[in-house]
Structure 1
Amino acid sequence: MSLPIIEIIHGKAIDAVTADPWNKAIVGPALDIVGNAPGSLKIYRGLQTEEPKHLYVYVAWTELQAHKNFQADPVNYPEVGKRVGSFMVSDRDMFHVEPSADPYKALNAPVTELALLTPRPGYTKENVAEKVKTLVESPHSLQEDLGLISAFWGPVVEKENTLALIVGWKSVEAQRGIFAVPQVAALLKACSEVAELQVTLASLLEYP
């Protein structure tokens, strides 16, 4: 079975969303259209932990071409853009991640971490990929008692030199506590030595 591709769109949300992020009346008019598009599999949305005014929407598509076909829809795609713009008002960004493994456990977790990694000077994307793969596949990282539920990684389609690591956690405290585990801390340090990291956390809920 082939893996889906994950679209991630994020940006600053209006106050009505930050006050009631699960209110379907606000996001529903846009997400209903996306959910009915051919090739759309699942949708998740939620607010960033560090910046609660920042909204993330994850869409799983059967393949990248399915989303491109939707973007070419002369009626529905402009309408979605207008409706998304009504609740995600600034600092918007959108990209796709090609996952290395099933993404749904990480996206269904109570807390989902998104780490974007770009090579430091003197290193390549392949160097970064090697370290990330070692981290994700390490038996130390995958111990359930550490609070890690699932993880996957993969290249970012629109950002040639960027990899994404997406991790599902039982809690924010579990994610922060992982640095106290010596074996995992060493693997994380190895990643940070070859890559610059941008890390955010969000609590996602599947739509609808």
Structure 2
Amino acid sequence: MNTDFPRIITLLRKERNISQKQAATDLGVSQALLSHYEKGIRECGLDFLVKTADYYNVSCDYLLGRCAEPMGKAAKEAPAASGEDKDKLTEEQKMLLDSQKLIFSMVSEKDEGKLEKAVRSYLSLAVYRIFRVIFSANPKNDRRFFTLSSPAADGFTLSAMELKKARAEAIAVSGEMQSTPITTNTLTGTYPEHASSLFNQVKQCEDEINAVQDKDE
């Protein structure tokens, strides 16, 4: 269990002269549960971690004790994976790449590489699909770039993605992943360089999904 998180959230609350009762109300949890988090009795979930970071205006890395600066490595741009200064990645792009690195690290040594292959195939199809969308934006682009015609390609790609997803699920639930614990603490401890990106990626995606649901209601 991460021992820094309880200490840091308690310190932040007291520094701001916020009562435990008020903080619990603002964060949408009971005072008893917040007390358990602050004492390290219980481990919080990803949603609470991100919500707490937003509440105190600090980074998830800071809450987990991974950096000394409250806002973490908050540079607007980060060096590209190639290390070349001329190529820059935004924080959002880096977050996506880091999340993928974490996932591949998790599955690469599981089930003799079968799960990694299924995950890689699924993500490759997603890249292929969105590239076709970008390519098709310009009607002057030569459609012979692809061997599959546009009307059929999207449907076939979706079907292939569903098959790969089902394959990954079947391998995961029947293999080593079913006994692999995944918590904010295990992710942070095992993948310290990429965990924060995954946490934020999950939060961002769920916010977007909730926004779509709200529009439909």
TM-score, normalised relative to structure 2 = 0.25
Larger RCO: Structure 1 or Structure 2 (Cα < 8 Å, ≥ 6 residues apart)?
A: 1
Q: Give 1 or 2: higher helix fraction.
A: 2
TM-score, normalised relative to structure 1 = 0.25
